[in-house]
Amino acid sequence: MAEKHINARGLQCPGPIVELFKVAKAAESGDVITIEVTDCGFSKDITAWCKKTGNELVSIEETEGVIKAVVKKG
């Protein structure tokens, strides 16, 4: 199982989910993707994105304006 990292800091909506979608599309089931985002709407968006695309949101945390989410490909 591979681990992938996306730096989406500074990207505005819908940049972060677009980047995440591209990486997730190329990933295998079970791969873990970590994404860092500064758009504050992302914490809600990532929940909706995971639910819709059938991927698992492993964790989400925010420190000093950076949201870090860990997603496991379903």
Residues annotated as catalytic (active site), given as ranges: 13
**Minimum gap (Å) between residue 23 Cβ and another protein:** 11
Residue 39 corresponds to which amino acid?
D
Cβ–Cβ under 8 Å, residues 59 and 50: no
Q: Residue 10 or residue 30: which is nearer to another protein going by CB? A: 10
Q: Residue 52 or residue 63: which is nearer to another protein going by CB? A: 52
Interaction site with another protein (CB under 8 A): 10-15, 17-18, 20-21, 48-49, 52-53
Q: Helix, strand, or coil here: 30?
A: coil
DSSP structural state of residue 55 = -
